[in-house]
Structure 1
């Protein structure tokens, strides 16, 4: 979703939380956040230098139209770069892998396989990464419609 709950240990309670180091709140929950990489800041009762934590709100994409017009041309999960061991695999309806991010680091797919446009259709993808702070493995599976208008 587009909300986070911040869990804190250490320091001296009560804690304050902020997304901009200007507006502080006592609640550890933030709602209606924008997509992308962001930071949350936490300070304890002594109001010392805040601790910061970088996190990502992922924009789940279900359709691309890779025709070069600059609108919905790519499947862009580049915000996952703050995670560890990120892998993106995309498969056609027969289970053939048409894209893998394992040898890349930008996590953007432009609707091609080996440099050639794929046919219009529904594809399936798997996002995998490891959360850097907990070493928890995350796997997310979804579908995407690729509509080539060339």
Structure 2
């Protein structure tokens, strides 16, 4: 008797092959083979995991019985560890894929343009990533993991700075502005006069001057246009000395 377990967990690809000899028969086709009380033949296919009682009868109704058991392979399962990205537009998320069960080796396929057959990624944007794993028996499972983000905006905008020449906090520098190469920035005084404007402001912080003159201590209104689908960002920054 030769047993072949199911290829994948929960499927019906198991097999039992019987080599029957003896008894009163004219050919192998004269045996009656019963598997769990169902008339079968010496080659039993499409079986799930389980216990099987096999009864073989010859032409004289003489019989023998034996047991067989088929086993599922371990269930093929995926799990993930993730580190959130800082914000939607900053690629600093991380992800680990863990594979349990099935039959090694595995093929791993990813969406979102990620390279296949890798189980660790960093420098990820926030988003949903789908892993499809195929084991050596061609059993397939897929799962989706979310790499989230912790801050709605990628910009960290100071609400004050002190352009007094002491080398500390002399410039109004916005963390994350380099992620938006097409950004435009405008700053206005309390009377609505524009005191600073720069297109493509990713590398151009404000030093608190207008036309080469130091501006007084006061609160100034800014408008930051990322030139994407998001609304302009507005707020106030204070010059202190």
TM-score (norm 2): 0.41
Provide the residue aligned with 1:23 in structure 2. none
Provide the residue aligned with 2:193 in structure 1. 96
Relative to structure 1, the CA distance from residue 143 to residue 13 in structure 2 (aligned partners, 3 Å threshold; closer, same or farther) is farther
Provide the residue aligned with 1:41 in structure 2. 94
Give the stretch that moved more between structures: 107-116 or 56-65. Answer: 56-65
The one of the two structures with greater contact order (alpha-carbon pairs below 8 A, sep at least 6) is: 1
Question: 5+ unaligned residues in a row in structure 1: which ranges?
Answer: 1-11, 19-28
Root mean square deviation, CA, Å: 3.1
Cα deviation code 1:91-110 (max 9, x no counterpart): 00111111112165413111
Alpha-carbon distance in structure 2 between the residues aligned to 1:78 and 1:100: 18
Question: 5+ unaligned residues in a row in structure 2: which ranges?
Answer: 1-76, 99-107, 109-117, 126-148
Cα deviation code 1:66-109 (max 9, x no counterpart): 01112221110152111242121110011111111216541311
- The answer as to whether partners of 2:184 and 2:201 remain within 8 angstroms in 1 is no
Alignment of 1:60 onto 2:179: no
Report which of the two structures shows the higher radius of gyration computed on alpha carbons. 2
Find the partner of 1:76 among 154, 159, 173.
Answer: 173
Cα deviation code 1:12-36 (max 9, x no counterpart): 9644323xxxxxxxxxx57xx7xxx
Relative to structure 1, the CA distance from residue 44 to residue 84 in structure 2 (aligned partners, 3 Å threshold; closer, same or farther) is farther
Find the partner of 1:110 among 204, 207, 220.
Answer: 207
Alpha-carbon distance in structure 2 between the residues aligned to 1:97 and 1:81: 23
Cα deviation code 1:9-60 (max 9, x no counterpart): xxx9644323xxxxxxxxxx57xx7xxx771123445553525236874322
Alpha-carbon distance in structure 1 between the residues aligned to 2:181 and 2:124: 15
Alpha-carbon distance in structure 2 between the residues aligned to 1:13 and 1:95: 57
